[in-house]
Structure 1
Amino acid sequence: MQVTSVGHAGFHIQTEAGSILCDPWVNPAYFGSWFPFPDNTQLDWDALGNCDYLYVSHLHKDHFDPENLSKHVNKDATVLLPDYPVPDLKRELEALGFHTFFETEDSVKHKVTGPKGDLDIMIIALRAPADGPIGDSGLVVSDGETTCFNMNDARPVDMDVLHDEFGKIDIHLLQYSGAIWYPMVYDIPTKTKANFGKQKRQRGMDRCRSYIEQVAATWVVPSAGPPVFLDDALRYLNDDRGDEGNIFPDQITFLEQMRIHGNDGGILMIPGSTADLKGGELTLTHPIPDAEVDKIFSDKAAYIEDMAKRMAPVLAAEKATWAPAEGEPLLEALKAKFEPIMKQSDLICDGIGYPVGLVMGDETVVLDFPQRTVRPRGEKDGKYRYGFRIAPELVRTVLRDDEPDWVNTIFLSTRFEAWRVGGYNEFLYTFFKCLTDERIAYADGWFAEAHDDSASIELGGYEIQRRCPHLKADLSKFGVVDGTNLTCNLHGWQWDLESGRCKTSKGHELRSAKL
């Protein structure tokens, strides 16, 4: 088996039975905020796209690149399709011309047969509203000699099925770095923001190490981030100044973290790097001399500066596609977009529980979730418990494009500011990624389901429910107790073990008792 990095979460897996192209992202994403790092535009995308199988893990735009898929990827390739409850991914791929789909079952081992032979595959599909844009997934591939687990940025809650079906894993590809807007966009004191960032950075790496221990692969490739921010307004987000509060550490940083914790199985891959594998035996080849690879990371600020100059026309072209900032007041368009969704989602609107402010230049609109209405700011409105300040051109663009997911566009761009009083509100961000009838119906139903908390474990001197109240992670594997505080490292949520109260978000109480 030959595994070639094509940048970020993208890989090309070559076997005697055929080739699989995974998550081929090259064009800027999220309003031109994210670019692949290191640069992957020099790759031969026509050759890479002449594949037998295509795997797109989910619809986040740093995994699903419609322009690259349309221009360079063979439309006769068989798409290995995750088992998602809402068929948005299949529809998007069909719209690009893909027509042959192998529809998998979640966490079931399948044999795919092509003209060149057979492959064993399994796609672990995550279906919670918090998983990507209604779904995220990881792919396991075995050619009978070598097994690769491409976890990208999925967060599976149970690894037992992996070993039950495939036994030893030879190479594990997974996310370790940040990929979200918190805490950078929040209106909080600089020192507080730095402390929150430092905590988030470490939790992300702790979560990754937990997965590495559970999968126990011979080789580990840190991937699926970080992106690079080339816009002058966003350059501060790059981890090129030794800032411990930066949530976007690079591959070198995580490989050192692995070594500190006694694991020497990590390998560095850049776009074009190839790992030739025979079971657990690996030979690594880079597309450029090792000294040049080292310089990308040792002189990172200079590399980013050079890349920003080269990509300036690409960024300018992206910005030229945005809607104009000026136009009719946005109130009526937002009422038409949001109110029908509000009226279908009692559980989510009640879970949000308060009005949310949306400031767009000189216009302020209130998303009044308790009343299920969108209205102007009133004289009696004080400071909103949650609010967003977004440039009007971004709002006009997503409205123009009838975008069903503001998380996958505006929020991941980090081109906004936010404030909140109290904890994170999961229901609110779920609402923003479910702006279609089909998505909101699924999300509302998912939250309405009763989650099993009957099984218990002992951890840190407490008896607690085994499954995390957030997304059902196994706390015997992801739970960390510090005094009376429990952290689930899967998403970094925390609970007070004395009361069972969730310290991260409203609701989500934990059953716990002191032993």
Structure 2
Amino acid sequence: MQITSIGHAGFHIQTTAGSILCDPWVNPAYFASWIPFPDNSELDWKKLGDCDYLYVSHLHLDHFDERNLRDNVNKDATVLLPDYPVPDLRRELEKLGFTKFVETTDSVKTTVSNDKGSLDIMIIALRAPADGPLGDSALVVDDGETVAFNMNDARPIDLDVVKENFGHVDVHMLQYSGAIWYPMVYDIPRKSKANFAAQKRQRGMDRARSYIEQVGATWVVPSAGPPMFLDEDLFALNDFGSCDNADETSIFPDQATFLEQMRIHGTDDGEKHRGLMMISGSVAEFTGSTLDGVSHPFPPEEVFGENKRAYLERMKEKFAPVIAAEKATWAPAEGEPLLPQLKELFEPIMAQSDLICDGIGYPVGLVMTPGGGPANEQTETVVLDFPNRIVRKPKEGEGKYRYGFRIATELVRTVLRDNEPDWVNTIFLSTRFTTWRIGGYNEFLYTFFKCLTDERIAYADGWFAEAHDDSASIVKDGWEIQRRCPHLKADLDKFGVIEGEKLTCNLHGWQWDLASGRCLTSKGHELRATRLD
């Protein structure tokens, strides 16, 4: 099996039974905020796109690159389709001209064949509203000799199914770095933000190491890593590694940093879980668990450590025209008041989502200013009044809302112009906004912004309404607790970490007070826990 890194979470997997192109992202995403690191724009995308099978893990724009899929990927390729609750991914691929689909069943081993031979595959489909835009997935490929597990940035809650169906995994590719806007965009003191960022950074790497230990693969490839932030306004978000004046609180550690973490924590002991550096264009040859060789397009050290800042500065100059061209496509700030358009968009969704609106539980402010700067005479403030299911103007003397967003008017007009069903996958992941909150993170609020269609909101509201099993128990560090995490049902026997009276689920970093069962991260989601004598 030959595995080529094509950047970020992307891989080209070549076998004697055909090739699989996975998550081929190259064009800037999220309002030109994210660009693949290292640069992959000079790879031969036509050649890579001449594949037998296509696998797009989910609809996040750093995995689903519409332009690249349309322009460079063979439309005769057979799409390996995850088993999702809503058909948005298939619909988007059909719009681009793909017609051949293998509709997999979640976590069920499947054989796919063509005139070159057959492959055993399995796609683990995650279906919670918090997983990507209503779905994320991981792919296992077995060519009869080598087993590769491409987990990208999915967070499976049950990995036993991989061993049960495929035995030993030879190569494991997975995310280890941040891919979120927290805490950078929050209005909180600088010191607090730095502390939260450091915690977020370490939790992501701890979670990845937990996955590595559970899978037990011979080789581990850090992937779905940090993007490059090359717009001047966002450049400070990069992790500059060991460069002078590096910000150690960046939530975006790179491949070299994580491989060092593996060595420090014993996850890479030279015998198993061996870390393998791959960058855009790197090619690795495997025979079973044996690495026959790996080649790189250039020495990896040229983009890491003390050389990283200089590399990013060169990339900033290279991509400046690309970013400028992207900004030119945004809707102008000027126009009719946004309140009527936002009422038309949000109120029908509110009317269909009682559980989600009640879960939000309070009015949310949306402050829109041209350019995203401080409020001025051109600022328009709109209130999403979730308790009353209406969108309205602020009331006199209403004061500061418990949760609010400050967003450039251009971005709001752009997503409205484009009928965008998911603000998380556009505005929020761009980090081109600021926000504030009083109290904990509200999962219901961000789920609402992901689900701006009738089909999506119906699924999400129904998902939250289901009663999740908490009958099974485990004993851990002097406590009897429910086995499944109240957030997304992760196995707390594997992902739970107890410190004193606090439980952390390392799958997403959510925390509970064991004495009371109260969730410390978000509203609701109580945990059943009893101290053992």
TM interval, short-chain normalised: over 0.9
Give me the whole-angstrom Cα distance separating, in 1, the residues matched to 2:400 and 2:331.
29
Which stretch has the larger CA shift, 119-128 or 275-284?
A: 275-284
2:48 alignment counterpart: 48
Deviation of the 1:289 alpha carbon: 4.2
Secondary structure at the aligned position of 1:408 is classed as: coil
The match for 2:251 among 247, 266, 284 is 247
Q: Deviations over 1:267-300 (max 9, x none)?
A: 110111011000110134333343xx21210311
* 1:439-478 paired onto structure 2 within 5 Å: 439-478=456-495
Give me the whole-angstrom Cα distance separating, in 2, the residues matched to 1:337 and 1:196.
34
**1:297 pairs with 2:316:** no
Deviation of the 1:245 alpha carbon: 1.4
2:166 alignment counterpart: 166
Deviation of the 1:312 alpha carbon: 1.1
Which stretch has the larger CA shift, 259-268 or 67-76?
A: 259-268
Secondary structure at the aligned position of 2:519 is classed as: coil
User: Retained in 2: the 8 A contact 1:82–1:105?
Assistant: yes
User: Retained in 2: the 8 A contact 1:222–1:254?
Assistant: yes
Q: Deviations over 1:163-213 (max 9, x none)?
A: 000000000000000000000000000000000000000100010000000
Give me the whole-angstrom Cα distance separating, in 2, the residues matched to 1:382 and 1:112.
59
* 1:75-94 paired onto structure 2 within 5 Å: 75-94=75-94
1:258 alignment counterpart: 262
1:35 alignment counterpart: 35
**1:326 pairs with 2:330:** no
The match for 2:425 among 380, 401, 408 is 408
2:373 alignment counterpart: none
* 1:62-461 paired onto structure 2 within 5 Å: 62-240=62-240, 241-264=245-268, 265-290=274-299, 293-298=300-305, 299-361=307-369, 362-461=379-478
Q: Which residue identity lines up with residue 311 of structure 1 in the other structure?
A: F
User: Retained in 1: the 8 A contact 2:121–2:141?
Assistant: yes
User: Retained in 1: the 8 A contact 2:209–2:267?
Assistant: no
Secondary structure at the aligned position of 1:118 is classed as: strand
Q: Which residue identity lines up with residue 247 of structure 1 in the other structure?
A: I
User: Retained in 1: the 8 A contact 2:495–2:507?
Assistant: yes
1:484 alignment counterpart: 501
Deviation of the 1:88 alpha carbon: 0.1
Q: Deviations over 1:308-351 (max 9, x none)?
A: 11111111111111000111110000000000000000000000
Question: TM-score when scaled to structure 1?
Answer: 0.99
Q: Which runs of 5+ in 1 are unaligned?
A: none
Q: Deviations over 1:405-438 (max 9, x none)?
A: 0000000000000000000000000000000000
Give me the whole-angstrom Cα distance separating, in 2, the residues matched to 1:326 and 1:252.
45
Give me the whole-angstrom Cα distance separating, in 2, the residues matched to 1:184 and 1:24.
27
User: Retained in 2: the 8 A contact 1:17–1:116?
Assistant: yes
Give me the whole-angstrom Cα distance separating, in 2, the residues matched to 1:153 and 1:424.
21
1:8 alignment counterpart: 8
User: Retained in 2: the 8 A contact 1:322–1:394?
Assistant: yes
Q: Structure 1 residues 364, 289: CA separation in 2 closer, same or farther (over 3 Å shift)? A: closer
Secondary structure at the aligned position of 1:407 is classed as: coil
Q: Which residue identity lines up with residue 302 of structure 1 in the other structure?
A: A
2:376 alignment counterpart: none
Q: Deviations over 1:2-21 (max 9, x none)?
A: 00000000000000000000
User: Retained in 1: the 8 A contact 2:174–2:221?
Assistant: yes
Secondary structure at the aligned position of 2:526 is classed as: coil
Q: Which residue identity lines up with residue 75 of structure 1 in the other structure?
A: K
Give me the whole-angstrom Cα distance separating, in 2, the residues matched to 1:440 and 1:263.
41
Number of residue pairs aligned between Structure 1 and Structure 2? 513
Give me the whole-angstrom Cα distance separating, in 2, the residues matched to 1:307 and 1:284.
29
Give me the whole-angstrom Cα distance separating, in 1, the residues matched to 2:276 and 2:439.
41
Q: Deviations over 1:67-95 (max 9, x none)?
A: 00000000000000000010000000000
Give me the whole-angstrom Cα distance separating, in 1, the residues matched to 2:18 and 2:57.
19
**1:497 pairs with 2:504:** no
Question: TM-score when scaled to structure 2?
Answer: 0.96
User: Retained in 2: the 8 A contact 1:270–1:286?
Assistant: no
Structure 1's consecutive aligned runs of 4 or more residues displaced over 2 angstroms after TM superposition are 241-244, 283-290
Alignment RMSD, CA only?
0.7
Q: Which residue identity lines up with residue 286 of structure 1 in the other structure?
A: S
Q: Which runs of 5+ in 2 are unaligned?
A: 269-273, 370-378
Q: Deviations over 1:94-115 (max 9, x none)?
A: 0000000000000000000111
1:514 alignment counterpart: 531
Give me the whole-angstrom Cα distance separating, in 2, the residues matched to 1:387 and 1:245.
24
Give me the whole-angstrom Cα distance separating, in 2, the residues matched to 1:432 and 1:257.
35
Q: Which residue identity lines up with residue 327 of structure 1 in the other structure?
A: G
Q: Which residue identity lines up with residue 16 of structure 2 in the other structure?
A: E
User: Retained in 2: the 8 A contact 1:273–1:284?
Assistant: no
Secondary structure at the aligned position of 2:329 is classed as: coil
Q: Which residue identity lines up with residue 141 of structure 1 in the other structure?
A: V
Deviation of the 1:442 alpha carbon: 0.1
Give me the whole-angstrom Cα distance separating, in 2, the residues matched to 1:460 and 1:202.
22
Q: Structure 1 residues 143, 35: CA separation in 2 closer, same or farther (over 3 Å shift)? A: same
